[in-house]
Structure 1
Amino acid sequence: MGYDEIVQLLESKIPDYSKSSELHLLQFHVHAYKFIAGKRHPMVVMLCKALFNLDQCMQGYAETMIERIASFNKKNFEQVIQVFGEIHVLMRASIVSDNKFIVSEPRKKKTDKNPELRSVINGLFYAAEVKTPQLFRYSNQRQSGFQITSQLSVENFDFLKINEKIVTSRVLTVRDYLVSAEEKFKAYTENDEYKNDFRLLFIVWDDYINEPISALVGPYSGLFTENSFHNESNFSIIDGVFIVRHQHQFYRMLQYGELVNSYTDVFQFVKEQFPAAFIQNPYGRKVPESILLNFGAINPNDVFYLAEYQTTDFVDWRSGIALSGLNSISQEYHQRVFNLFKDLVSERIERYINDIALFSNINLSKIMENLEQGSDNDVLLEKLKKTIFSVIRVQQHQVEDREKKNWESYNKKREMLNGHLKDLYHQKKKSELEHPCPCGGKDIYENCCFIKLSNYNYVSYSDSIG
């Protein structure tokens, strides 16, 4: 399909506002924005370009994806984001593949279970399963209390539940993804042609990738460690996991027409400053470096200075401080550590932006390494107390100096854009019915957007998700 054909197909499949009962995530972007601004929404342009490029490698892919996207009503908008996650990974796979070789949903028989794609890099064949968790509502609550990011013991969880407002971890989500991928790869490798392919899981997360990293390799109970809380399998058929910090870019573009961190396309895979994290499964085959490099991925241990790439046991969002290394001290001291945070953080640091990770991490293991040999846990706790005081000041400065200023800048731009679009909408709504439609289509206004937008009223740009 050509690019224009893909755009036309998308516009025909996404319901307009002629029927108040038909609601879809992309309604505003496909129909209302074009009427108001006189051009296609950047999200529509970027999506259709991505689908066009993928359709060159996999004929029929664009039509299949548009049908899937259109099938989800607005209530199920996060399923559209899951489709975006798949497109995001497949776009990168197509760019770095040998001779544009990429197969969507590879299988020998229609009844076979299969991963998302099969491709080849430098002669190395691999299969990939793509998972994009539903994080929109979770992102609005993760900073509301004491966020657990590892699978803590029942004793620790019960203690925290009594004393804190708990935000539970997404560890089980990651576990379920591994179980699902394992099942698909087992069926996939029954085919002799595929059995030697490297088998990879891609998880498209938001900016808080410490969460899935902790679920996989957190020393306390990580799924790829000897202490794994999941005893049924070590998932050896999965060679490694790529974690991509990108969901927030989709929501920024949909809600505000913007991208962060100097991204220029919502389906741009990674930037050097914000690499994907790759977690090698110690029980699987070693994934060649060339595959990692082509997907812009690094070992999280190589960026130890960035908190979001480190394992964490919990994040106390009153202070914006995460802690790792609980496993390095005896269980009897864990509750004293929790109480330290409870007693030392007297008031909550006000947060301004919830979709960009900004927190500090304190590693108990590192503190222990720097203590004199023979020091007991009481000395460790005293050192931790001083470190918490110090890091709270750092967090306060970062929030006020960086986060607040960014938030004010974003808000100013959004208010200006909202005001501009609202004025344009009310101005164009008064267009003469027999004049060309403001959307730029071939029909007159009376036969075009006058009908398509009959149940639409501009309230706010961000109301597209609502």
Structure 2
Amino acid sequence: MNQDLKSVADQDISDISKILADRYRAGVGGRTHWLTYHLNKGRVTEFGQALICALASCEYRLPGLGERLVDELIGTGYTPAVQNPVAWRAGFQQLLQKFAEILVLRVLLEAPWPAGAQFQHEPANPTTGRRPELAVELEERVYLFEVKCPSLVDHQTARGANPRQIPARSTLGDTLRANQNPNEPVTWPRDNVLKDFLESADDKFSGFSAKETIGVLVVFWDAYVYEPISALKYPQSGLLTEHSFYQLNSVRVPFDSVDGVIMMNHLAVLHAGAQEQGHAHRPGFFRLDHVNGGLPNVWCQNIGGTQLDAFLMEALDAIPVEDAEQVEYQLHEFIVWINLPD
């Protein structure tokens, strides 16, 4: 994009940002809502500015999308924590899911797709009726994306308190489960939630088009990304391996329509930003880059899946999981935590 066109786009996005911020304020009226602090007309926070810019970018590239996302934010139920902490937590989890969708949509819409790419937000699968997050149709193929953001609150609490952790199903884990000592609690894998995500994405992608289809599941997690990676790729039981623990009639469930999973270690960034606790390990709340020592996202390819294009890997700030050398990305069978609080 030349500088003149870039200036026009920047001005358009600035104008759209103001319209969308006003739309949110009008929608919530005078009541306290999730983003009334961040989008206060007198003082928009850094997080609020980043969110509105992401929404405006979506609106600029796919007219109507930014407005729809703002309306969905308005519709996310808010209950003050002092009144009902359970309802507050459920609402905050819905808010994080919406943030995750906004981030991925913004990144994908801004990616350097080949000329002629056609975008559809939540199109209906003609075979199953299910709706993936985004479809991008090219002349020769269709890309489908689904975004998931699990609730990790209880899991994080257990991880912070329990001295032992089993990230993936294994013989050792089976032995520990069979001989549980209540005085030595264990943090168990969150692999069932990943199994559910894969099933949902597979159903949304299957039979979507007569063209070649590339299906990508994007899952948000916190910085402990060895947990989902182990659940997906651990040789003895990983969901994306020949020996997956999820089988029907002793046959692995293959999730054939899911080519792979992008594990996005951005959940803590959104969580911290929404609560005015800083940036965590990335400089942008609704952008993806791991400069200044942050960790990249990783691509976990399914058996028989198509490798994701280089330009999409770069846009999603991802590397193949096999190339990730940091300890946070290594497969683990058993972890003993030390120096836990009394």
* TM-score, reference length from structure 1: 0.60
- Give the aligned partner of residue 37 of structure 2: 28
* CA positional deviation for 1:313: 1.9
Which of 164, 185, 207 in structure 1 is aligned with 2:205?
185
**1:270 has 2:279 as partner:** no
- Give the aligned partner of residue 22 of structure 2: 8
Which of 146, 151, 162 in structure 2 is aligned with 1:129?
146
- Give the aligned partner of residue 240 of structure 2: 224
Q: What does 1:279-318 correspond to in 2, within 5 Å?
A: 279-304=300-325, 306-317=326-337
3-state DSSP class of the match of 1:256? Answer: coil
**1:90 has 2:94 as partner:** no
1:205/1:107 Cα in 2 relative to 1: closer, same or farther (>3 Å)?
A: same
1:40/1:110 Cα in 2 relative to 1: closer, same or farther (>3 Å)?
A: farther
In 1, distance between residues paired with 2:204 and 2:18? Answer: 36
* CA positional deviation for 1:60: 1.1
- Give the aligned partner of residue 369 of structure 1: none
5+ residue gaps, structure 1: 18-22, 320-347, 352-466
**1:140 has 2:157 as partner:** yes
Q: What does 1:105-184 correspond to in 2, within 5 Å?
A: 105-107=122-124, 112-119=129-136, 125-145=142-162, 146-153=164-171, 154-162=174-182, 164-184=184-204
In 1, distance between residues paired with 2:282 and 2:170? Answer: 37
- Give the aligned partner of residue 458 of structure 1: none
3-state DSSP class of the match of 1:242? Answer: strand
Asked whether the 8 Å contact 2:127–2:207 carries over to 1, the reply is no
In 2, distance between residues paired with 1:123 and 1:159? Answer: 54
In 2, distance between residues paired with 1:211 and 1:269? Answer: 21
* CA positional deviation for 1:147: 2.4
2:169 maps to a residue whose letter is Q
1:140/1:13 Cα in 2 relative to 1: closer, same or farther (>3 Å)?
A: farther
Rg larger in structure = 1
In 1, distance between residues paired with 2:231 and 2:282? Answer: 29
**1:205 has 2:221 as partner:** yes
In 2, distance between residues paired with 1:290 and 1:123? Answer: 17
Q: Deviations over 1:389-446 (max 9, x none)?
A: xxxxxxxxxxxxxxxxxxxxxxxxxxxxxxxxxxxxxxxxxxxxxxxxxxxxxxxxxx
1:205 maps to a residue whose letter is W
1:123/1:268 Cα in 2 relative to 1: closer, same or farther (>3 Å)?
A: farther
Q: What does 1:314-325 correspond to in 2, within 5 Å?
A: 314-317=334-337, 319=338
3-state DSSP class of the match of 1:88? Answer: helix
In 2, distance between residues paired with 1:53 and 1:9? Answer: 16
Moved more, 122-131 or 88-97: 122-131
Q: What does 1:57-76 correspond to in 2, within 5 Å?
A: 57-74=61-78, 75=88, 76=91
5+ residue gaps, structure 2: 1-14, 79-87
3-state DSSP class of the match of 1:274? Answer: coil
1:26/1:219 Cα in 2 relative to 1: closer, same or farther (>3 Å)?
A: same
1:274/1:101 Cα in 2 relative to 1: closer, same or farther (>3 Å)?
A: farther
In 2, distance between residues paired with 1:271 and 1:120? Answer: 29
Q: Deviations over 1:120-139 (max 9, x none)?
A: 69986411111111123432
Identity %: 26
Q: What does 1:347-362 correspond to in 2, within 5 Å?
A: 348-349=339-340
Q: Deviations over 1:126-183 (max 9, x none)?
A: 1111111112343233221022211245333222455521222211010100011111
In 1, distance between residues paired with 2:278 and 2:286? Answer: 13
Q: How many residues align?
A: 306
**1:234 has 2:251 as partner:** no
Asked whether the 8 Å contact 1:122–1:290 carries over to 2, the reply is no
Asked whether the 8 Å contact 1:270–1:276 carries over to 2, the reply is no
In 2, distance between residues paired with 1:97 and 1:83? Answer: 24
- Give the aligned partner of residue 387 of structure 1: none
1:50 maps to a residue whose letter is A
* TM-score, reference length from structure 2: 0.81
- Give the aligned partner of residue 95 of structure 2: 80
In 2, distance between residues paired with 1:70 and 1:110? Answer: 31
- Give the aligned partner of residue 50 of structure 1: 54
Q: Deviations over 1:78-118 (max 9, x none)?
A: 10110110111111111114257532113376982121112
1:56 maps to a residue whose letter is Y
In 2, distance between residues paired with 1:290 and 1:177? Answer: 25
* CA positional deviation for 1:256: 2.3
Aligned-pair RMSD on alpha carbons? 2.6
* CA positional deviation for 1:12: 1.9
